[in-house]
Amino acid sequence: MPEFIVRVGTPDGEIVERTVQASSARAAQEELQRQGMHVFEARRGVFAWRDLFPRGKRVISTERFLLFNQELLALVKAGLPIIQSFDIMLERQKDARFREVLAEIREKIKSGVALSDAFSSYGDMFPPIYSTSLRAGERSGDLEGVLRRFLRYQKIIVNLRKRVVGALIYPAVLIALSICMIVIMLTKVIPKFIEFFAGFGAELPPVTRFAIAATSLLNDHFWIIAATFIIVAVSLRKWISSTGRMTWDRIKLRIPMVGGILHRFAIMQFTQSLGTLLSGGTPMVPAIEISSQSVTNQDISAKIFSVVQNVREGEPLWRSLEGTGAISDLAVEMIKVGESTGALTEMLNNVSEFYDEEIEARLSRLVAAIEPIILVVMGIVIAVLLYAFYLPLFQLSTVGQQ
């Protein structure tokens, strides 16, 4: 597992560097934050070639975790004790990795560990909002209500992700087919034209010579180009998963059309998780800290987390968020109304529902715009290739007629 060097502030006021083994820089930061430290920065430590290969990390899929919580809610609602509920779910669980984790959690609960602490001990395997929600339910005695609100939150996030993936399947297939068609033309079709032109020894147009040079480069160095592309892709992925995550997330927000959707998705994640935590009885400051971690875009997550100290000192949430520039004016105004009327939870839910609908509308417009753009680009590329290799044929036929 990769090593990260994290610069932190200890509860005693000292600033030190700690070395942490984690799957990503964010996981390393969250690990030290759970230990009560303030994280300033995290950077990659010593690089090992084994870090380029997957490491069999136990990951629980969102859909499987959602099903688990639906079953747990039904059993808790029926009045069964937690231990007996876990026994029933262990018998029904088919995923070996998840069954192993549930068995470990059951043993911890049996030994006296709280349900929330048992889940939080697994770090980023489970979302931070989950263990915090469970802790609020344990303190208030309303575990059933907390599970119901978490399920509602999880379903909203899962359904939105499914709509995004479903909307992007067709453009992705179209792009893949376009690339395959161009590669086939460059490696199989065009070389036949090159052999044909070589027999005439005539002067070729510049566009044809350029196309021939590109085709020859691709055919003569195909494996070198492919290996270079793979190395660059893997290196870029490792950089994004470690020190470059913040920069990459900031770049994504500046992409035309896509950036607006990602920004709204981050706002929806924050308002939905914050509303879920507050409605479950979690105090404001811990709720903001956990909600900021639920935002997948690290740039916006860091800006939201920066308001914690201001809120702790008594500043209204809406004013603190307004100063970050990460939250839209509409969301800030609705949060302001919610704070002033004492209906902050309901207003946060309204904000998340509004952005859920807007994301879907913008996503539909994006897909509708991408499809013709891909077709036009593909048509232009193919037209240029055809023009480059049919133009000499027209010139030769003209010379033959004269």
Give the start-to-end residue ranges of the domains of the chain.
3-49, 62-154, 156-402
> Is 174 within 8 Å of 183 (Cβ atoms)?
no
Name 223's Cβ contacts closer than 8 Å, sequence gap at least 6.
Answer: none
What would the two tokens of residue 96 be?
């070996």
- What's the pLDDT score for residue 199? 66
- What's the pLDDT score for residue 53? 42
The pLDDT of 229-253, averaged and rounded, is 87
* pLDDT at position 115 over 70: yes
Identify the CATH number of the domain defined by range 3-49: 3.10.20
- What's the pLDDT score for residue 347? 92
> Is 300 within 8 Å of 310 (Cβ atoms)?
no
The pLDDT of 307-323, averaged and rounded, is 90
Sorting pLDDT into bands at 50, 70 and 90, what band is 228? very high
For the question of whether the overall pTM of this predicted structure is more than 0.75, the answer is no
- What's the pLDDT score for residue 57? 44
Residue 209's alpha-carbon distances to 41, 220, 299, 365, in angstroms, are: 52, 16, 46, 40
Burial class (CB in 10 A: 0-12, 13-18, 19+), 320: buried
Distance between CA atoms of 328 and 3, rounded to whole angstroms? Answer: 36
Name 202's Cβ contacts closer than 8 Å, sequence gap at least 6.
Answer: 392, 395, 396, 399
* pLDDT at position 393 over 60: yes
Could you tell me which residues are beta bridge partners of residue 16? 8
The alpha helices in 185-221, defined as continuous H runs, are 190-198, 206-220
* pLDDT at position 333 over 90: yes
Q: CA 7, 10, 12, 17 torsion: positive or negative?
A: negative
Q: Which CATH superfamily is domain 62-154 in?
A: Type II secretion system (T2SS), domain F (1.20.81.30)
**What's the count of helices (H) and strands (E) in the chain, helices before strands?**
18, 3
Sorting pLDDT into bands at 50, 70 and 90, what band is 272? confident
| Residue 93: DSSP 8-state | -
> Is 114 within 8 Å of 132 (Cβ atoms)?
no
- What's the pLDDT score for residue 34? 67
What would the two tokens of residue 311 be?
């809120």
Query: Is beta strand 15-21 parallel, antiparallel or unpaired with respect to 3-9?
Result: antiparallel
> Is 335 within 8 Å of 318 (Cβ atoms)?
yes
Diameter over CA atoms, the chain: 98
Helices 298-305 and 258-279: angle between axes, nearest 10 degrees: 40
* pLDDT at position 337 over 90: yes
Chain length of the chain: 402
Distance between CA atoms of 55 and 27, rounded to whole angstroms? Answer: 15
* pLDDT at position 52 over 60: no
Burial class (CB in 10 A: 0-12, 13-18, 19+), 114: middle
What would the two tokens of residue 365 be?
């417009």
* pLDDT at position 10 over 80: no
> Is 138 within 8 Å of 119 (Cβ atoms)?
no
* pLDDT at position 344 over 80: yes
* pLDDT at position 48 over 70: no
Of 251, 268, 56, residue with least CA distance to 160: 268
Q: pLDDT above 70 covers what percent of the chain?
A: 87
Calculate ∠ Cα 310-273-103, nearest 5°.
Answer: 120
What would the two tokens of residue 46 be?
């010593």
Query: Is beta strand 3-9 parallel, antiparallel or unpaired with respect to 38-44?
Result: antiparallel
> Is 287 within 8 Å of 264 (Cβ atoms)?
no
User: The tokens 């753009």 sit on which residue?
Assistant: 373
| Residue 5: DSSP 8-state | E
Name 15's Cβ contacts closer than 8 Å, sequence gap at least 6.
Answer: 7, 8, 9, 40
3-state secondary structure of 17: strand
- What's the pLDDT score for residue 49? 44
3-state secondary structure of 46: coil
